Amino acid sequence: MKISKILAGMSAMALAASMMTMGASAEISNANFNDGKDYCFDVFAAVGAEKAATISSVRAKLSFKNIDDLKANGAGGGFITSSDGNNWKSTEFGNDGADKPITFVVDEASSTATMEKTLTDADKFTGSGEDALSYAQVVFQSWWGEFSVDNVACYDAAGELVCSVTGDGIDLYKAPEKGGNEVDLSEYKKQTEVTLNGEGRSVTDSGKVRINIKHPWVDDATFNLVDDWSVFTGADAIAVTVDISNVTDAFNAYPCFSNGIENSIGYWEASDNNPAVTVNADGTYTFIVKFPSALEMDAKNMFFDINTDLAGTDGEDPAVKMAVKKVVVLNKSDAEPTDPSESTADSTDSTDSDDSNDVLVDSTDSKTNSAATSSKAANNASNTNPSTGAAALAAVGVALAGAAVVATKKRK
């Protein structure tokens, strides 16, 4: 036996031993190599040296006995191409989230997965020095989890099948598009997470899907997720993190907010103060509402939701599911925020102080009527809460942020 083959075997055993601590159970159900520990496809025996040297990529199809166990614990190991010239070139692979160079894509319906290793010059099947190629193998090791190898298929640079275990090629599964976004909150020196009493639920109102955080006119815990709304007083902004699932077509979502005070804050359409986010796939999304000054509010009549332009049917549970995971009060200063309503009459700017007190008196006198917001058109024009009486309650059914977004483009 050539020394390269002996070294390859020794390397395999060393790698396997070094990875034994990665999981309590690591097994290839149909192992056929290295004393039943690994799975090997003998490429040299299948097509010989000349064709083996043309291989540029290798695909594998795996299957799992227990998809629930795979979801809970994952699986992975070494994806190895070995020949005289590269002597056991291993690349780690694993499940989504394992953070390995190769991630297999799972089809839960069939309990199978596919993956591909693109061969660099160091991975390719070559001879050693002046010696011609005398062996070429694709080997799989399990370092954690259990699986079997259903097929291994090798392709040349043009994408043509060179050889495979079953004689058939492998069509790679498409990785699901990952959703979610990132919002830069670094300008806010103080970030206080609010205690939630639940996650809420997605509903359809006025033909559009949304999730309520605070609804002053619905006595339902799933519409009111915070027990003490005074925690928002003095905020420069509020961030809301929402898990969104069952997304098939992309749509826009944005926060809508009213501080419950007449002629004050009323964000009913997306704007720079409450920007829209494109939801293109299942994921975790963060939304932000910004205020022109420290937030003053009438907690009883405050309104807050995440609205969308996704069509739904009133009275029916929407297919898209939403769950509020986090609400954070944001302040640009790390000092304790002050309640604007506590400003005193002997303030340095007496005129502004008087104006502020006038607004507070008005809001106190009209708390009952402030529940009734203005028409959508008036709100959109001024981003405020005009005092127009109870006839406009329906306006709190929030307006859309533009036309529906096209269906998420699928990858090939």
Residues contacting residue 266 through CB under 8 Å, at least 6 positions apart: 257, 258, 259, 373, 374, 379, 382, 383, 384, 385, 386
Q: Does position 372 have pLDDT exceeding 90, yes or no? A: no
Share of the chain above pLDDT 90, in %: 72
Residues 6-55: pLDDT tens digits?
444 444 444 444 444 444 468 999 999 999 999 999 999 999 999 999 99
pLDDT above 50 for 195: yes
Per-residue model confidence (pLDDT) at position 46: 98
- CA quadruple 144, 147, 148, 152: dihedral sign: negative
Cα of 268 vs its chain's centroid, Å: 26
Which of 95-109, 241-255, 339-353, 387-401 is predicted least confidently?
Answer: 387-401
pLDDT digits (tens, 9 = 90+) for 8-21: 444 444 444 444 44
Higher pLDDT, 284 or 396: 284
Which pLDDT score, from 0 to 100, does residue 394 have? 36
pLDDT > 90? residue 254 = yes
Does the domain at residues 190-356+388-396 carry the CATH identifier 2.60.120? yes
Write out pLDDT tens, residues 259-291.
999 999 999 999 999 999 999 999 999 999 999
pLDDT for position 337: 56
Whether 389 has a pLDDT exceeding 50, the answer reads no
User: Could you read off the pLDDT of 292-346 as tens digits, one per residue?
Assistant: 999 999 999 999 999 999 999 998 999 999 999 999 999 999 876 555 555 444 4
Find the mean pLDDT for residues 365-374: 34
The arithmetic mean of pLDDT across residues 218-228, rounded, is: 93
Residue 182 to residue 163: CA distance in whole angstroms? 44
Mean pLDDT of the chain: 82
Strand order through the sheet with 283-290? 190-193, 321-331, 237-245, 283-290
- Which pLDDT belongs to residue 396? 38
Banded pLDDT at 178 (limits 50, 70, 90) = confident
CB atoms within 10 A of CB 361: 10
Residue 368 has pLDDT above 90, yes or no: no
Q: What is the pTM of this model?
A: 0.55
Give pLDDT, residue 251. Answer: 97
Q: Delimit the domains of the chain by residue range.
A: 3-164, 190-356+388-396
